[in-house]
Amino acid sequence: MKKSYETFRRNFENAKRIWNLEEDWITPVEYLPYIDALLGDIDLDPCSTEKANKDFIHAKNFYTKKEDGLNTEIAWTGKVYCFPPTYGRCSYSKKRGSWRWSLRGGAGAMSPSIAWFRRLEKEWKLRNIYEGLFFSCNHEMMRAYPDMWDYPICIPTNRANLIKGNDYYRFDNPFTWGFFIYLPPPSLSVEPAERFRDIFSNIGKIIN
Which CA distances in Å does 127 have to 35, 70, 90? 21, 18, 25
Give the separation between CA 5 and CA 139, rounded to whole angstroms.
30
pTM: 0.86
Per-residue DSSP letter, 114: H
Residue 93 lies in a domain: no
CATH code for the domain in which residue 154 is found:
3.40.50
Residue 160 lies in a domain: yes
Residue 201 lies in a domain: yes
Give the separation between CA 144 and CA 140, rounded to whole angstroms.
6
Residue 108 lies in a domain: no
Q: Which domain holds residue 7?
A: 2-86+114-207
Nearest to 55 by CA among 35, 83, 27: 27
Residue 104 lies in a domain: no
Collect all residues with Cβ–Cβ distance below 8 Å to 144 and sequence separation of at least 6.
Answer: 110, 111, 114
Which CA distances in Å does 198 have to 63, 157, 192? 30, 15, 10
By the 8 A CB rule, do 99 and 68 touch? Answer: no
Residue 109 lies in a domain: no
Residue 107 lies in a domain: no
Residue 21 lies in a domain: yes
Q: Please report, in tens digits, the pLDDT of each residue of the chain (208 residues total).
A: 445 556 555 554 555 444 454 567 889 999 999 999 999 999 999 999 888 899 999 999 999 988 999 999 999 999 999 999 887 788 887 777 777 877 666 667 888 999 999 999 999 999 999 999 999 999 999 999 999 999 999 999 999 998 887 778 787 888 889 999 999 998 867 798 999 999 999 999 999 8
3-state DSSP assignment of residue 75: coil
pLDDT at 16: 46
Structural domains of the chain, count: 1
